[in-house]
């Protein structure tokens, strides 16, 4: 199907900017919110699972015999990691609670915007929790200074994949769209 300018619709356009970039889907605001909500649920299912598995693993670490022998820094790092994991899990599960409270009240566009922020927050917290977990694990396993470098590389990798790459792609697509409209 083509938009009003004769160009084909963009199936992969980013949520929230379809119409702003001229990619009409010929849907009402309610239909658009429903579509975006479904897409967000699929996204959050992936991240929820990862956060919950990490958090569950972290909860069990304190009950291992080796945990008692950790130094104060590693125990504090563990606490920070658990808290980050809990916050990530909370942010990624929150869309379910928010939806339950607002379902049927005709506020889905606002729900989609709020949920997008919760997912972004949850992803950032999850990246921090994973980086801290890697640091803790490698500090205990290797007992060397390499743990910090590896954890920094892991965090940089997440920032690259989860933030920089999407922003670069978005800018490139926007530039191509502007060139296509001339």
Q: What is the pLDDT at residue 24? A: 56
Taking Cα atoms as reference points, which of 153, 147, 104 lies closest to residue 127?
153
Query: pLDDT of 32-44, one tens digit each?
Result: 888 888 888 888 8
The pTM of the full predicted model, rounded to 2 decimals, is 0.74
What secondary structure does DSSP assign to 116-131, as a single string? HHHHHHHHHHHHHHHH
Confirm if 175 and 113 have CB atoms less than 8 A apart: no
Confirm if 132 and 76 have CB atoms less than 8 A apart: no
Residue 152 has pLDDT above 70, yes or no: yes
Q: Which two tokens stand for residue 22?
A: 């001229």
Instruction: Give the Cβ contact number of residue 132 at 10 Å.
Output: 23
**Three-state DSSP class for 36?**
helix
Residue 174 has pLDDT above 60, yes or no: yes
Residue with the two structure tokens 């670490």: 61
In sequence order, what are the residues at sequence separation of 6 or more whose Cβ sits closer than 8 angstroms to the Cβ of residue 180?
7
Question: Is residue 48 packed enough to be buried (19+ CB in 10 Å), middle (13-18) or exposed (0-12)?
Answer: buried
Distance CA 32, CA 28 (A): 6
Distance CA 80, CA 116 (A): 25
Q: What is the pLDDT at residue 3? A: 40
Query: pLDDT of 74-95, one tens digit each?
Result: 999 999 999 999 999 999 988 8
């Amino acid at each position: 199907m083509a938009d009003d300018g004769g160009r084909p619709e963009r199936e992969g356009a980013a949520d929230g900017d379809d119409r702003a970039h001229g990619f009409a889907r010929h849907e009402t605001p309610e239909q658009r919110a429903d579509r975006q909500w479904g897409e967000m649920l699929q996204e959050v299912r992936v991240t929820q699972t990862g956060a919950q598995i990490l958090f569950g693993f972290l909860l069990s670490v304190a009950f291992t015999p080796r945990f008692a022998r950790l130094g104060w820094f590693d125990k504090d790092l563990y606490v920070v990691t658990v808290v980050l994991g809990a916050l990530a899990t909370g942010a990624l599960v929150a869309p379910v609670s928010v939806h339950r409270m607002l379902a049927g009240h005709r506020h889905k566009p606002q729900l989609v915007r709020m949920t997008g922020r919760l997912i972004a927050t949850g992803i950032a917290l999850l990246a921090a929790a994973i980086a801290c977990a890697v640091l803790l694990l490698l500090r205990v396993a290797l007992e060397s200074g390499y743990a910090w470098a590896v954890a920094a590389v892991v965090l940089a990798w997440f920032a690259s994949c989860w933030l920089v790459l999407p922003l670069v792609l978005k800018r490139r697509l926007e530039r191509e769209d502007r060139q296509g409209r001339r």
